Structure 1
Amino acid sequence: MRITVFGATGGVGQEIVRQAVAAGHEVTAVVRDPARLPVLLSDVQVHAAAGLDDPEALREAVAGRDAVLSALGSRGRKADGVAERLTRSVLAAMEAEGVRRLLVVSAAPIGPRPADDPLVDRMVRKVVGAVLKEVYADLTRMEAALAGSATDWTSVRPPKLTNGPLTGKYRTEIGGSPRGGRTISRADVAHAMLALTHDPAAVKQGVGVAY
């Protein structure tokens, strides 16, 4: 499979690149600074982009790909619209090149929660939601952009991310979130994204992932 990875220097993005290469996929990593991608291997193609706001500059990176995986987003509490803005740029480049499959990292609070979630989880979500209000608002707008696009998109919605190991043992729920799911490692989020790439049931859906 030929894939392009955006946000390849972040925690999830590096894992996507590493695991995709190990699985034998042809990988293009889109980065601003190649020196920030420590998982660079001889068989990883690097597309250096000074910025991601210009769809025309991204068309070469996505042309002819079977799938595009994006881990773009805010790295702090101040989102500044980065997820929505950059995802719209990626969408425009993909639509211009006729590339359809797109998977992005979102967050569990963007999707519906089980009605029977434990009380402590509901309380924690309320507190975290207040702290990360701008980030979640940005991701909500990003998902709206996905829904309005011509792509076959999937939004992967993890809860709290950790630096734990790849286990391959986690729960997924299409259109919802696993009950009581509180954490998942970045490595397993990457694993889930690669696995969902070929799942037709996940197309145009949000998918909750958690332990």
Structure 2
Amino acid sequence: MKLTVFGATGGVGHEVVRQALAAGHEVTAVVRDPARLDVPAHDRLEVAVVADLTDEESLVPVLTGRAAVISALGAASNKQAKAAPVTGPAVRAILAAMDRAGVTRLSAVSAAPVGPDVASDGIFTRAVFLPLLRRALRDVYADLSVMEAAIGASRAEWTVIRPPRLLNRPRTGTYRRAIDANVPRGRVIPRADVADALLTTLTDPTTAGHALGVAS
């Protein structure tokens, strides 16, 4: 499969690129700075430098002829998201460019706090921990909510992945999943497993048009 990966220099994004290449896919990794791409050169890897991800015109060439798109974009910090939201505006431009390029399949990473609470998680988690977390990172989650709304209103065949706290650990492939819900007591997940979810949902029709909670 020919894939375009946005956010390829991030913690999840570089795992997506590595795993996609290992699985035999052809990958176009979209980056601002190619020096930050922590992936060895490969004959099935194309690195495309795009300075402005909100520039629809510059995105069409990196999407034309591709079978699917993965967005591993995310706001780096609450301060940065408050100053200039990143993910929502970029994904809106990506969706418009996908329409023009004739690409329909999209898998995008979001975050568990954007999704619904889990009743079985207990009163402390639902009434204290999550409200504090959502307040502390409100601009990050607001940006991701804008992204999810744009995806949901689009004509794309989409899946949104909502992980909890991310860890730098090896891929297990045995994480839990919940359709249109968060995983009960889902506290952490390796970035490599989030990358696995982004990739595997591309060929899983049961996830199309749904948000997928994932956690270890």
What pairs up with 1:130-149 in 2 under 5 angstroms?
130-149=135-154
Larger displacement relative to structure 2 (40-49 or 184-193): 40-49
What pairs up with 1:43-62 in 2 under 5 angstroms?
43=43, 44-62=45-63
TM-score normalised by length of structure 2: 0.94
Among 173, 194, 212, the residue aligned to 1:189: 194
Give the equivalent residue in structure 1 for 2:101: 97
Structure with higher helix content: 2
Give the equivalent residue in structure 1 for 2:78: 77
Displacement of 1:115 = 1.5
Distance 1:6 1:177, change over 3 A: same
Distance 1:165 1:121, change over 3 A: farther
C-alpha root-mean-square deviation of aligned residues, in Å?
1.1
Task: Give me the identity figure in percent.
Answer: 52
Letter of the 1:37 partner, please give it.
L
Larger displacement relative to structure 2 (116-125 or 87-96): 116-125
Letter of the 1:161 partner, please give it.
L
Q: Distance in 1 between matches of 2:70 and 2:205?
A: 16
Give the equivalent residue in structure 2 for 1:66: 67
| Contact map agreement 1:121 1:180 (CA 8 A) in 2 | no
> 1:26 aligned to 2:33?
no
Q: Distance in 1 between matches of 2:53 and 2:196?
A: 25
Q: Distance in 1 between matches of 2:145 and 2:38?
A: 31
| Contact map agreement 1:118 1:180 (CA 8 A) in 2 | no
Question: Secondary structure of the residue that 1:21 maps to in structure 2?
Answer: helix
> 1:118 aligned to 2:122?
yes
Q: Distance in 2 between matches of 1:192 and 1:13?
A: 12
Question: Secondary structure of the residue that 1:209 maps to in structure 2?
Answer: strand
Letter of the 1:49 partner, please give it.
V
> 1:172 aligned to 2:177?
yes
Q: Distance in 2 between matches of 1:198 and 1:119?
A: 37
Q: Distance in 1 between matches of 2:35 and 2:73?
A: 18
Larger displacement relative to structure 2 (112-121 or 60-69): 112-121
Q: Distance in 1 between matches of 2:139 and 2:18?
A: 30
Among 200, 204, 207, the residue aligned to 1:199: 204
TM-score normalised by length of structure 1: 0.97
| Contact map agreement 1:6 1:71 (CA 8 A) in 2 | yes
> 1:38 aligned to 2:42?
no
Displacement of 1:204 = 1.3
Give the equivalent residue in structure 1 for 2:14: 14
Displacement of 1:169 = 1.2
Displacement of 1:130 = 1.1
Distance 1:36 1:145, change over 3 A: same
